[in-house]
Amino acid sequence: MRISKGTAIFTATTIKTLEYESEYDGANCVLFAELNGTYTRSGSTLNFSFSLGGTTIEKSVEIIKLTSTTLETKDVDEDNGEIIVDTFTRQ
């Protein structure tokens, strides 16, 4: 069974995402992807821009909850229509 974990580090205008993966358990995850980018907020939408191998990737997600400790976003997978909800908590 493959297990994935992710960390997102937000500043006022930038984001760094770290994706970890393990074959069998969450205890032995290794870093397999790191992305650095920028973001802007427009109402209830977060707009992200990442550079990957000379290509700019842009993505927008809907903010469904935002408090002093929690950010919850909703996205729809373009390939299969699956709704993806991500929850971020302040550390």
pTM, to two decimals: 0.76
Over its C-alpha atoms, the chain yields an Rg (Å, rounded) of 14
CATH, domain 3-89, list 2.120.10.30, 3.40.605.10, 2.40.128.280, 3.20.20.150: 2.40.128.280
pLDDT level of residue 48 (50, 70, 90 thresholds): very high
Residue whose pair of structure tokens reads 């580090």 in the numeric block: 9
Mean pLDDT of 27-37: 82
Angle at 77 between CA 10 and CA 35, to 5 degrees: 30
User: 14 forms bridges with which residues in the sheet?
Assistant: 38
Tell me the domain boundaries of the chain.
3-89
